[in-house]
Structure 1
Amino acid sequence: MSADGPLLPSEPLDAADERLLATFDEIEKQQLDFFDSAAKRIIELVTALLGVLVALLALGDKFPPAYLAGHAWVKGLAAAALVCYVLALVAAAITTAPRRLKRYAYNLTLMRQELDALLAVKARWLTIAGLLFGLGAITLALALALIITSA
């Protein structure tokens, strides 16, 4: 019995079915690289937007800048964006962190479970990083919008 249920008799696969299976095999093969490269891209983007945020907070010859001095909402949004970006950076770093895998020489079922667990962890942390990055971008955009409309 497979993980998908009992094996039932079926007809031979046609060319479209073979292509579908090959596509899924290719996706599965590239998934680890995709998770790692997506997390690295989030790290790059977060780093760039942290630079924008720091520039937003430190512009001018005195701190805090005039556009922050009387605007509690802008300060709060800037702080929220900073927290979101730092947490997104941490989540993306966890996604790319190396992990030990148990390699079972004679048990493919346990090897499959190990790979599935690794993919699940990477997918979970990448999702968290992406959500935090998006939330940080939204809060930064709102802060910038408030600065622009109050000018």
Structure 2
Amino acid sequence: MREYHIQSVRPPRADEDALAGWFEAQRLKSPDTLEAAARQIVSLVTTLLGLLWAVLALGNDQTPAYVGQPLVGWLGVGVVVLLLAALACALAVLYPRRFEVPLHNVAAQRAAFEALMRHKATWLARAWWCFYCGVALLGVIVILALLAAA
């Protein structure tokens, strides 16, 4: 015959309750944090694109020599495409989605919350990578401009 070991159970201590509460609060704040990061990417992308358009629009008729280089032109196209892709991905994080979840079904609510978090985290990661690559290409353009000016 099998022997069963009875585990003693105790109520959680105050510090354990506080820690569990903190983790629960962080979990529920996660969508807001992801959306704040997406808003920051949107802000940075629109600022960089606005700056790029201002430089192009305010430039005089005499453009610097490096602007005429085909490599700089294609890198510039890459920057614009990547920044616009980052903007689109960040907006996918912010765009509201409809979730139909039964009111008293905790398992369905948990699944919907996890799907929401997965959606936001995936699109934010894509936005971050597009933004990162776009800024890196912009850095390459600046380096080429500095080398051409030297």
TM-score range, shorter chain: 0.7 to 0.9
Number of residue-to-residue matches in the alignment: 143
Aligned to 1:66: 65
Is residue 58–residue 65 contact of structure 1 (8 Å, CA) maintained in 2?
no
| Residues 63 and 97 of structure 1: CA distance in aligned 2, closer, same or farther (over 3 Å) | farther
Aligned to 2:44: 45
How far did residue 134 of structure 1 move?
A: 0.8
Larger radius of gyration: 2
Aligned to 1:121: 119
SS of structure 1 residue aligned to 2:97: coil
Separation (CA, whole Å) in 1 of partners of 2:9 and 2:125: 37
Aligned to 2:53: 54
Map of 1:10-49 to 2, 5 A cutoff? 12-49=11-48
Is residue 102–residue 111 contact of structure 1 (8 Å, CA) maintained in 2?
no
Separation (CA, whole Å) in 1 of partners of 2:18 and 2:135: 39
Separation (CA, whole Å) in 2 of partners of 1:55 and 1:150: 22
Separation (CA, whole Å) in 1 of partners of 2:24 and 2:112: 17
SS of structure 1 residue aligned to 2:24: helix
Is residue 53–residue 82 contact of structure 1 (8 Å, CA) maintained in 2?
no
Deviations 1:7-38 (A, max 9, x none): x9765434443333122111111111111111
How far did residue 149 of structure 1 move?
A: 1.2
Separation (CA, whole Å) in 1 of partners of 2:141 and 2:56: 11
Q: Percent identity?
A: 32
Separation (CA, whole Å) in 1 of partners of 2:45 and 2:57: 18
Is residue 95–residue 126 contact of structure 1 (8 Å, CA) maintained in 2?
yes
How far did residue 51 of structure 1 move?
A: 1.9
- Structure 2: give runs of 5+ residues left out of the alignment: 1-6
| Residues 109 and 147 of structure 1: CA distance in aligned 2, closer, same or farther (over 3 Å) | same
Q: Give the structure-2-normalised TM-score.
A: 0.84
Q: Give the structure-1-normalised TM-score.
A: 0.83
- Structure 1: give runs of 5+ residues left out of the alignment: 1-7
Deviations 1:52-83 (A, max 9, x none): 332454553238653211x2221121111111
Question: What root-mean-square deviation, in Å, do the aligned CA atoms of Structure 1 and Structure 2 show?
Answer: 2.1
| Residues 46 and 39 of structure 1: CA distance in aligned 2, closer, same or farther (over 3 Å) | same
